[in-house]
């Protein structure tokens, strides 16, 4: 029981530190595995209580309850309005620049019949693959000449597109504005830096902050989607959602464990997101098949509704 108690103490400590991601970037990384930590704490805490290690077991189990309060709402759907228009389908997919499965990804996009497609980490070969595919989209290459990759946008003909730049310290986003069934909609596709060190974590947080400011500046219906490099449970993601006033499409559709595909599903986290404003509602949210990337493609189907 001493070993199990030690596991409970260490796991609880790590779990609690994940709630203080605003104090140090390393703590924010810990939050990525909150669902898995919740299960571990629940099992260890329950077993310690069964064998009457009341103090350690009680603290560990309480931590599991806190985790469950955070995680369970992901299965509670937001209300779906009935006074809705035609569907709006959006794909966000981090291709992985070195991924060689061009034909499979092109076929996936073609069969999806999506209205908008954001392809992150799109290198020159990926740009050429979609130009040659002739899928009927207007293709917007947002990659700087000195960059290996950026976000490739497949948009409907006539859409207005603004590239905010994909330099290391830039906004790393692209905006598209179009009219859907007579309603103005703006979508911001983002790919902030991965927080692999303190400097990159600061830039990631700044880039997410830019997305929040963009959302606050748009008066009509708006969406932010992409590879956020921030899990659902992180301070950075929660801060963006609170500042932007947007809703998480993940609600009602589970954990959305999209990354990395190179590990067991039990070691994955959710960093591919779509947030949406009032006046929109989500009717479907699915992760696609493994297409050779370390991410799974995210497809979200929305409807335009009356504003609440």
The yes-or-no verdict on residue 131 having pLDDT over 60 is yes
The yes-or-no verdict on residue 17 having pLDDT over 90 is yes
pLDDT digits (tens, 9 = 90+) for 172-203: 999 999 998 889 999 999 999 999 999 999 99
Overall fold of domain 87-304:
Deoxyribonuclease I; Chain A (3.60.10)
The yes-or-no verdict on residue 84 having pLDDT over 70 is no
pLDDT band of residue 106 (cuts 50, 70, 90) is very high
Residue 56 confidence (pLDDT): 84
Give the CA angle between residues 78, 281, 76 to the nearest 5°: 15
Report the share of the chain in percent with pLDDT over 90.
79
pLDDT band of residue 48 (cuts 50, 70, 90) is confident
Which residues have a Cβ under 8 Å from the Cβ of 242 and sit 6 or more positions away?
A: none
Residue 144 confidence (pLDDT): 86
pLDDT band of residue 308 (cuts 50, 70, 90) is very low
DSSP 3-state assignment of 168?
Answer: coil
DSSP 46-74: HHHHHTT-HHHHHHHHHHHHHHHHHHGGG
The yes-or-no verdict on residue 117 having pLDDT over 50 is yes
| CA dihedral of 187, 141, 207, 120, whole degrees rounded to 10 | 90
The answer to whether the pTM exceeds 0.85 is yes
Provide mean pLDDT across the span 237-265.
94
Residue 114 confidence (pLDDT): 97
Query: Mean pLDDT over all residues of the chain?
Result: 92
Q: Delimit the domains of the chain by residue range.
A: 2-75, 87-304
Quickly count: other Cβ atoms within 10 Å of residue 167's Cβ: 12
Provide mean pLDDT across the span 275-303.
96
Residue 81 confidence (pLDDT): 62
Structure tokens at 280: 């929109």
């Amino acid at each position: 029981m001493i070993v199990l108690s030690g596991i409970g103490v260490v796991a609880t400590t790590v779990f609690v530190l994940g709630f203080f991601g605003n104090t140090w970037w390393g703590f924010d990384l810990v939050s990525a595995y909150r669902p898995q930590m919740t299960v571990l704490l629940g099992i260890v805490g329950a077993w310690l209580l069964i064998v009457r290690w009341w103090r350690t077991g009680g603290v560990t189990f309480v931590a599991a309850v806190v985790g469950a309060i955070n995680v369970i709402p992901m299965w509670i759907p937001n209300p779906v309005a009935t006074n809705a228009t035609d569907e709006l389908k959006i794909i966000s997919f981090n291709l992985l620049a070195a991924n060689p499965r061009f034909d499979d990804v092109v076929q996936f996009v073609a069969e999806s019949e999506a209205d908008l497609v954001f392809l992150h980490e799109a290198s020159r070969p990926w740009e050429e693959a979609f130009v040659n595919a002739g899928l009927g989209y207007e293709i917007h290459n947002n990659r700087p000449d000195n960059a290996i990759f950026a976000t490739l946008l497949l948009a409907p003909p006539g859409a207005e597109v603004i590239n905010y730049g994909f330099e290391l310290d830039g906004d790393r986003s692209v905006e598209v504005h179009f009219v859907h069934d007579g309603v103005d909609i703006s979508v911001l596709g983002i790919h902030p830096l991965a927080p692999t060190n303190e400097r990159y974590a600061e830039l990631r947080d700044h880039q997410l902050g830019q997305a929040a400011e963009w959302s606050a500046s748009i008066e009509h219906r708006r969406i932010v989607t992409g590879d956020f490099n921030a899990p659902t449970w992180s301070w950075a993601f929660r801060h963006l959602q609170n500042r932007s006033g947007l809703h998480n499409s993940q609600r009602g559709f589970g954990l959305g464990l999209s990354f990395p595909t190179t590990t067991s599903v039990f070691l994955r986290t959710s960093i591919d997101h779509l947030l949406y404003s009032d006046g929109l509602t989500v009717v479907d949210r699915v992760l696609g098949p493994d297409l050779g990337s370390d991410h799974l493609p995210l497809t979200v189907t929305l409807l335009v509704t009356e504003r609440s």
